[in-house]
């Protein structure tokens, strides 16, 4: 960590203590470069303003001496323009001080994990792919699509319910693409007022409107050479959709208040929690824009359809949140896990994250128990079936005077299909009741489906 203010360095070292890293602190650029000559490092946290040289000067020398070492800039004097300049110069990431503990830990963990090429993560051994946790069959399809499409310039349209990780997915696409050294710029079309979004996207010139005191770069210009992520695209105003279509087709745009055409090279990744074709039919999304952007569709499954991933994500969140809140929680009661797997999670991973934080903050102990679950999970009832009920549906076609022996494979299939039916179509819930992993059921269902076809 290259930081000339000791109090700040000590604070950030405390933030990172839960990651079990060996952190060395130096206060100048020269000291950082000397340290790099003496021993190898896995990561450098670098202040932009140092007493003897600029952070950008340090970065250039680090890139020459140790090109594979990720460098994360930290500065209180930053702007997005400086961030883009740093990324183009070879920085791995960029943080504005004061850094939040959670943000700093995640950024550092992700950087080290990526340099270790998918080996053990600093937060523990978890099945992780570019920010995602889990290895269910539904997510394996997502990972395969990302790997296959990342190197292309083709537009990717991500769909999925709120909280499924669409921005994480967009960042993953950028990270594994050949554009990863260049900027990843995200623009949330639903969070920006209608009268400002054109300026946010294309920028403006001085005097373009009241309050435009200087020229300003937009997301399109900032993403030049990299990836432009348009989140909640279906919320964009129809008039601006026309200008976006022209930008996508030609690679050129006009800043607000300017007649000059500017050209950039960006890769488009879009996302929505709605059905884009239904939005087209309702007249809220341009059909020509839909066909232009919907080249590679990528659907993120809801958490309730991700089987054992739910448990894996819950354990990862529990460990991380417990460390952050200085608590002792390390495991879940089996009944709690049954609830987690059976619950439909309308808010998906975001809701699970909030539930885990609620439990950790408001309770004490080493094991999460049922009485710690917040609403609405505390009112959720997991279906339970006695052995005599199970016996009744093993072979629904049997009768008392039948001497027919049913093949074991057929009994198994009927049992699984009946369990899924009784659990309202929820495969994770059926797996819990049958005391098998959800991935086992997914594999069997996929096998039967192939046999049918």
Superfamily of domain 6-117, CATH level 4: Response regulator (3.40.50.2300)
**What fold is seen in the domain 304-379?**
Helicase, Ruva Protein; domain 3 (1.10.8)
Q: For residue range 237-277, list pLDDT tens digits in order.
A: 998 999 999 999 999 998 888 888 999 999 999 999 999 99
Q: Residue 349's closest CA among 316, 382, 374? A: 316
Beta-bridge partner residues of 94: 73
Using alpha carbons, list the distances in angstroms from residue 326 to 165, 360, 361, 445.
Answer: 27, 9, 9, 43
Domain ranges of the chain: 6-117, 137-299, 304-379, 406-451
Q: How confident is the model at residue 283 (pLDDT cuts 50, 70, 90)?
A: very high
As beta bridge partners, residue 71 has: 44
Cβ burial of 245 (10 Å; 0-12, 13-18, 19+) is: middle
Q: Which residue has the tokens 């129809």?
A: 238
What mean pLDDT is predicted for residues 419-434? 76
CATH code for 406-451?
A: 1.10.10
Measure the CA–CA gap between 319 and 124, rounded to whole angstroms.
9
Q: Rounded to whole angstroms, how far apart are CA atoms 27 and 34?
A: 12
Is the domain defined by 137-299 classed in CATH 3.40.50.300? Answer: yes
Select, from the ranges 275-279, 375-379, 402-406, the one with the highest average predicted confidence (pLDDT): 275-279
Query: Dihedral, CA atoms, 108, 111, 112, 116, nearest 10 degrees?
Result: 170
Residue-wise pLDDT for 59-115, tens only, equals 888 888 888 888 998 877 555 567 677 777 778 888 877 777 767 887 787 777 666
Average pLDDT of the chain, as a whole number: 82
Do the domains 6-117 and 137-299 sit in the same CATH topology, yes or no?
yes
What is the chain's alpha carbon radius of gyration, rounded to the nearest angstrom? 26
Could you report the per-residue pLDDT of 145-173, keeping only the tens digit for each? 999 998 888 999 999 999 999 999 999 99
pLDDT band at 122 (very low <50, low <70, confident <90, very high): very low
**Beta-carbon count within 10 A of 21 CB:** 15
The average pLDDT across 5-14 equals 80
- The residues near 185 (Cβ < 8 Å, ≥ 6 apart) are 219, 222, 223, 226, 227, 228, 229
What pLDDT was estimated at residue 145? 92
- pLDDT (0 to 100) of residue 79: 58
Q: What is the pLDDT of residue 127?
A: 57
Q: Is the peptide bond before 239 cis (omega within 30 degrees of 0)?
A: no
The tens digit of pLDDT for each residue in 287-314 reads: 999 999 999 999 999 999 888 788 888 8
Q: According to the model, what pLDDT value does residue 389 have?
A: 40
3-state SS track over the chain: CECCCHHHHHHHHHHHHHHCCCCCCECCHHHHHHHHHHCCCCCEEEECECCCCEHHHHHHHHHHHCCCCCEEEEECCCCHHHHHHHHHCCCCEEEECCCCHHHHHHHHHHHHHHHCCCCCECCECCCEECCEECCCHHHHHHHHHHHHHCCCCCCEEEECCCCCCHHHHHHHHHHCCCCCCCCEEEEECCCCCCCCHHHHHHEECCCCCCCCCCCEECHHHHCCCCEEEEECHHHCCHHHHHHHHHHHHHCEEECECCCCEEECCCEEEEEECCCHHHHHHCCCCCHHHHHHHCCEEEECCCHHHCCCHHHHHHHHHHHHHHHHCCCCCCEECHHHHHHHHHCCCCCHHHHHHHHHHHHHHHCCCCEECHHHCCCCHHHCCCCCCCHHHHHHHHCCCCCCCCCCCCCHHHHHHHHHHHHHHHCCCCHHHHHHHHCCCHHHHHHHHHHHHHHHC
Instruction: Flag whether pLDDT at 395 surpasses 50.
Output: no
pLDDT of residue 390: 40
């Amino acid at each position: 960590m290259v930081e000339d203010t000791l109090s700040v360095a000590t604070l950030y070292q405390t933030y990172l203590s839960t990651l079990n890293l060996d952190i060395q602190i130096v206060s100048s650029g020269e000291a950082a470069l000397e340290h790099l000559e003496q021993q190898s490092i896995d990561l450098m946290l670098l202040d932009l303003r140092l007493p003897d040289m600029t952070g950008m000067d340090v970065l250039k020398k680090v890139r020459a001496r140790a090109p594979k070492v990720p460098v994360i800039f930290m500065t209180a004097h930053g702007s997005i323009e400086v961030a883009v300049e740093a990324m183009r110069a070879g920085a791995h990431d960029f943080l504005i001080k004061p850094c939040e503990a959670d943000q700093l830990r995640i950024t550092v963990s992700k950087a080290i994990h990526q340099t270790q090429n998918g080996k053990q993560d600093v937060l523990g051994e978890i099945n992780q792919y570019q920010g995602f946790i889990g290895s269910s069959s539904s997510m394996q399809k997502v990972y395969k699509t990302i790997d296959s499409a990342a190197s292309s310039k083709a537009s990717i349209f991500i769909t999925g319910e709120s909280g499924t990780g669409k921005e994480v997915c967009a960042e993953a696409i950028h990270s594994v693409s050949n554009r990863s050294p260049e900027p990843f710029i995200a623009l949330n079309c639903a969070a920006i007022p209608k009268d400002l979004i054109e300026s946010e996207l294309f920028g403006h010139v001085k005097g373009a409107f009241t309050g435009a005191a200087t020229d300003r770069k937009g997301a399109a210009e900032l993403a030049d050479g990299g990836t432009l992520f348009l989140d909640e695209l279906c919320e964009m105003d129809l008039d601006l959709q026309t200008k976006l279509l022209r930008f996508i087709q030609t690679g050129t745009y006009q800043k607000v208040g300017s007649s000059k055409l500017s050209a950039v090279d960006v890769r488009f990744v879009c996302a929505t929690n709605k059905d884009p074709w239904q939005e087209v039919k309702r007249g809220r999304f341009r059909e020509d824009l839909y066909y232009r952007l919907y080249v590679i569709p990528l659907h993120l499954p809801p958490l309730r359809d991700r089987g054992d991933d739910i448990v894996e994500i819950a354990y990862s969140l529990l460990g991380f949140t417990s460390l952050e809140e200085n608590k002792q929680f390390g495991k879940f009661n089996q009944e709690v896990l049954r609830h987690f797997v059976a619950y439909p999670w309308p808010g998906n991973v975001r809701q699970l994250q909030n539930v885990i934080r609620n439990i950790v903050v408001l309770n004490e102990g080493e094991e999460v128990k049922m009485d710690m679950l917040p609403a609405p999970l505390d009112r959720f009832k997991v279906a339970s079936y006695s052995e005599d009920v199970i016996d009744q549906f093993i072979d629904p076609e049997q009768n008392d005077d039948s001497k027919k022996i049913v093949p074991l494979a057929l009994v198994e299939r009927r049992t699984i299909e009946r369990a899924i039916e009784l659990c309202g179509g929820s495969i994770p819930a059926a797996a819990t009741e049958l005391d098998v992993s959800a991935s086992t059921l997914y594999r069997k269902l996929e096998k039967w489906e192939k046999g049918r076809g």
